[in-house]
Amino acid sequence: MSEFMNETESLVESDKRNKALKILKDWAESGDPEGMFEYGNIYQTCRNGNDEIVDDCEAAKWYKKALDAGFDIRRFTKLFCRAFLDIRPDERLFHITPYVDILDICENFAESTNDYDSAMYIGDVYRELSASMTDDLDMEYDYYKEKRQVKLYRDKIQKYYKKAERMYEIAAESGIDDAIKEIKAINGILALYDDHLDLKKPKKYLKWAKKGFEMGDRDKYLFKNIAYTYDELSDYEEAFQWYMKGAQEGNEACQDVLERYSYDIENYVRDNKGSDAFHKGNKYYKYGMSKERQDWDNAYNAFLEADKLGDVRATVKLGNMYRVLRNGSCYEDNEAEAVKWYTKAIHSGKICAEEQIAPLIMKVEDFFDEVFGFMYEGPKDITLYEEILEFCKECFEKNQDQLRLLRITNLTRL
């Protein structure tokens, strides 16, 4: 066997691949499983220089023969997956089809034996495939939309995602007595979730992330990711505790978050609940633009709740609801009421002229654009806005925002 391998490797390196193929074919046809595998492997791996040797269908055929002839499946899984992952990411999708049955065999082996290494290798293959398909869909979305294949493509991404998740879970639960390897499997699951946030299951993410933490994982992103996931579940008290754990371990990302809230859990919980209510209101507000009364009412109630929790963005939106949109829609046409909410916003101390802003604080240019943006009919009585315009003018003079200063000048001429 070593003689065959040494001779063929030297021939491949000297670009005499056809001669190497002849030697390997004779070896494979002798009935030796090792020869069958190596003959298939050269068709899968010779991707530089003499590219016409690459033939995935031929590779898959001989791989299957090698397995049927008794080639060790555990070793096969490792070698095959490594070879597949060596393919350039943007080319993997064009080479996977002939190997579907091979991957199924390897997958069934890993699942039936709980073999850690095999599950990890297969998980890596499926994860990379799902990532490659996601990138391809993002870049070629219009093409797949025109071909009416977007749903089909997304279904395939989800299929590979689930297969990768299952393989990593098998590896993590394989009972291997090696904390480093187990953490590596857990990190595979977490990385998969981070690759596909639209498919992420927050409770599952927390299960594995906390298990990794218990086993000693102190990845610099772990604390913040766990806290953020609790945020997604609106469990802000628990999120704050994880930011605190990270800060106490010297994690700068967690420290930065907590500094914005002065390390005060009440500030953190209140602001995040306010943000939740604001986003809920914003969803209905957009629906309200279609003139549905119920959507306007839902938006108003959500913004009112967010305003009570100190979200100045909601305060401004409450003002906007008393303005008439260009499509003629509004919650109520009452410009004096609108100005009352805008004035409350500027007196809240949360309209900021600085570039660096804390949570739930609006930059003054965003406030100005919300109030005097082009989506509303122009002010009916500009004198109502004198205090607001004066406040914005002072901020823009400080920031040397000449464009918006010019707009203020034009507005005061109305």
Between residues 403 and 2, the one the model is more confident about: 403
In a domain, 227, yes or no: no
Same domain, 211 and 315: no
pLDDT for 356: 53
- Percent of the chain whose predicted confidence (pLDDT) is above 70: 90
What letter represents residue 139's amino acid? M
Same domain, 203 and 71: yes
Q: pLDDT tens across 307-328, in order? A: 999 999 999 999 999 988 777 7
In a domain, 175, yes or no: yes
What letter represents residue 322's amino acid? Y
In a domain, 194, yes or no: yes
Same domain, 48 and 176: yes
Same domain, 195 and 318: no
Q: Put residue 385 in one of left, alpha, beta given phi > 0 → left and psi -120 to 50 → alpha.
A: alpha
Per DSSP, the residues of 150-166 read HHHHHHHHHHHHHHHHH
Instruction: State the average pLDDT for the chain.
Output: 88
Last residue of a domain, one of 216, 243, 262: 216
Burial class (CB in 10 A: 0-12, 13-18, 19+), 188: buried
Last residue of a domain, one of 190, 216, 242: 216
Domain interval for residue 312: 300-412
Same domain, 80 and 178: yes
The domain total for the chain is 2
| Closest C-alpha among 111, 114, 110, 112 to residue 80 | 110
In a domain, 376, yes or no: yes
pLDDT for 92: 83
- Relative to beta strand 351-352, strand 362-363 is parallel
Q: pLDDT tens across 88-111, in order? A: 887 888 888 999 999 999 999 999
Q: pLDDT tens across 367-384, in order? A: 999 898 866 667 788 899
The SS3 of residue 234 is coil
Backbone φ, ψ for residue 264 (5° rounding): -110, 115
3-state secondary structure 244-304: HHHHHCCCHHHHHHHHHCCCCHHHHHHHHHHHHHHHHHHHHHHHHCCCCHHHHHHHHHHHH
